[in-house]
Chain A
């Protein structure tokens, strides 16, 4: 089916039949309509890619730009202001190479591995509190939501006493469904104010943290401005909190939702590394995908996409492509190698992926060690999805042990 002749325009995002299940359309689209016309919540048109090779090709090709603010690019939602479209996103893109180079220092595999014992201690502390309060407990509120904020606070040298404030601001800045516009703006203002004060304190008395390093860093002969430093702090919070929190929640739901998976890990915790990669591949509630915009004609899957097209890369659909994976619709905790597309590919792939992996692996290891009898306290089909800005999540994951 060519895009010219496809008569059906799907509403995007597609709906899933159950919280942990993929939309039924994915398999059909991969099979028969790899370049599908979709209508976004704004009413604007885009094309949707669902095949592994296509998504991989497009994400690695710089002609597929991230300039969603350009004239002619589809608006994602009616209100606009999504994380992909804001001024901040645009300036993040412009400063991308420079900041990325600086950020890489903190996110190398070695640096992240050195943080692992601290992450483990934080997970233990959160689980202590959860156990103290007794079962049933909500894994989201007790562990998945706070842990990544604690890790980011550690990274930014923010004192433990301010963790809860950061968690609130992060949640309010991102969560359109639970907060009013006013609350979101107030959170943004308070966060900016806090960070400016914090940056000044780090300038006066540097510590061992990432922010102190960035304050001291000189790139291309110029130190970073206060505003750039603030934006990096916010970027780390936006990119590292909701995404990791939601993934911890979904990971536990996927593993406990079919108990033999959890039991396989209890019996053999050495599978944690490959299990985490498979969780990342298998996540059907991964959210919107990555939008790209082209200004020239480019061919994908044998079809010419005209300049001015907005392209949505659905990594989660691509991760289940039968042509890329054996038994793609089967969750195999021993799968290896597992070149999933969840963190993107190419120069824009997730800079924090080593940290995310370490957080996920550590959380899983600590839960296996502390609570091997862990189980869901509700049937998996009763878990409620949360619509995230970057990736989807679950409202609550009730558990007992």
Chain B
């Protein structure tokens, strides 16, 4: 899995940080910071949920076969 975040779309809701704090953080102004662009498999479920519920649709996932 590879994660691509779009800081332009990010609206700072913080859902991703609450769901996967090892993968996502927020700057002071709320904008997403990607901590780990290819997280370990045990984190994939939380990351998929974060991408799905992101209100800015700012998280894109490339899932390798």
Give me the interface of A with B, judged by CB distance under 8 Å.
60, 101, 104-105, 107-110, 112-113, 336-339, 343-351, 353-354, 357
A110, B52: Cβ atoms under 8 Å?
no
Q: A112-B14, A347-B11, A349-B11 are in contact. Are A337 and B48 (CB under 8 A)?
A: yes
With a cutoff of 8 Å between Cβ atoms, the chain A residues found around residue B57 in the complex are: 60, 345
Most buried by A among B14, B15, B28: B14
A349 to B14, CA, bound (A): 11
For chain B, the bracket of interface size reads: 20 to 34
B39 close to chain A: CB less than 8 A? no
With a cutoff of 8 Å between Cβ atoms, the chain B residues found around residue A108 in the complex are: 12, 14, 17, 26, 28, 30
With a cutoff of 8 Å between Cβ atoms, the chain B residues found around residue A338 in the complex are: 53
With a cutoff of 8 Å between Cβ atoms, the chain B residues found around residue A110 in the complex are: 17, 25-26
A101, B55: Cβ atoms under 8 Å?
no
With a cutoff of 8 Å between Cβ atoms, the chain A residues found around residue B37 in the complex are: none
Most buried by A among B30, B52, B56: B30
A109, B48: Cβ atoms under 8 Å?
no
Of the candidates B18, B52, B55, the one whose C-beta lies within 8 Å of that of A343 is B55
CB of A107, distance to nearest CB on chain B (Å): 7
Q: A105-B30, A108-B26, A110-B26 are in contact. Are A337 and B14 (CB under 8 A)?
A: no
With a cutoff of 8 Å between Cβ atoms, the chain A residues found around residue B26 in the complex are: 108-110
Secondary structure of the A contact surface, majority rule: helix
B29, A357: Cβ atoms under 8 Å?
no
With a cutoff of 8 Å between Cβ atoms, the chain A residues found around residue B15 in the complex are: 109, 353-354
A353 to B12, CA, bound (A): 10
A345, B55: Cβ atoms under 8 Å?
yes
Cβ-closest chain B residue relative to A351 = B12
Pick 5 A–B contacts, CB within 8 A, sort by A. A104-B31, A109-B21, A338-B53, A345-B55, A354-B18
Binary A-proximity of B15-58 (CB < 8 A = 1, otherwise 0): 10110010001101111000000000000000011001101110
Of the candidates B29, B48, B52, B56, the one whose C-beta lies within 8 Å of that of A347 is B56
With a cutoff of 8 Å between Cβ atoms, the chain A residues found around residue B48 in the complex are: 337
Q: A109-B14, A109-B17, A347-B11 are in contact. Are A104 and B53 (CB under 8 A)?
A: no
